[in-house]
Amino acid sequence: MKLKPEAKAEIILWDWLITKGKYVKNIYFNRINELGGKIFRVEGERKIPDFVVEINDGYGIKYYAVEIKPSNNSKDILKASKILDLYLKNYLNNKTKYYVGEKEIKLNGFLIATNESPKGHLFKTETWIDNTIKDEGLSKYNAAVKYKIIPKKEGSRTFEFIRFLWNEYGKVRNDYETKLDVGILIGNCDEDNSPHIMISSFYRIKNRWTQRYWRI
């Protein structure tokens, strides 16, 4: 059976998260799937993302909804920002509730991923930005890399996309009292392409929004 590009992307990401995810406990599909994987369901508005990833990092169970796109069509990736207008707003307005079996789950955030995510970027063709090189040309880690706010290397188009997404999310936060994370799922090229999420996250200790880049 010939798989659609999105289904292929889902299989690539499932395998990557299962084999290399340090804190990944379960992956739930939005339908019966080729892998026979576990399924999540919703009640209410039926426009839903492709995966729900369950994480246990030692600080409690977290659930992230993931919208998956194939990398060969840039327009599809750009349109994935619908996680804000559809999935996130529906969730915040209680129009969509998520379940695993009969148990309602509370989401911690929404992510975007592609079949290129394990390689550290989203789009099929990208050039690399080295975040360890300062403007004056000195090759040393800057503070954002040192404190795991951003990765050492970023794809140029992914760099622009994630910051566009965060800017749009900032507008949403003006209308909603939300503390949900929003970002992308990508591999860390310096750590054997281990799964990481790059997110806009609310830092409760300092009561402010910040960027985070951490392993799952």
Supply the pTM of this predicted model. 0.93
- Residue 46: band (very low, low, confident or very high) from pLDDT cuts 50, 70, 90: confident
pLDDT at 90 over 50: yes
50-74 pLDDT per residue, tens: 999 999 999 999 999 999 999 988 8
Q: CA-to-CA distance for 63 and 214, rounded, in angstroms?
A: 15
pLDDT at 133 over 80: no
Q: CA-to-CA distance for 122 and 187, rounded, in angstroms?
A: 10
Beta strands in the chain (DSSP E): 24-29, 38-39, 41-44, 51-56, 61-69, 96-100, 103-105, 109-114, 128-130, 153-155, 181-188, 194-203, 208-215
User: Tell me, what amino acid is at 99?
Assistant: Y
Interacting residues of 58 by C-beta distance below 8 A, sequence separation 6+: 23
Q: Which residue has the tokens 């970023």?
A: 154
17-42 pLDDT per residue, tens: 999 999 999 999 998 887 888 999 99
Of 166, 175, 157, 176, which is closest to residue 199 (Cα–Cα)? 166
Question: Which burial class, exposed, middle or buried, applies to 216 when counting CB atoms under 10 A from its CB (0-12, 13-18, 19+)?
Answer: buried
Neighbour tally for 3: CB within 10 Å: 11
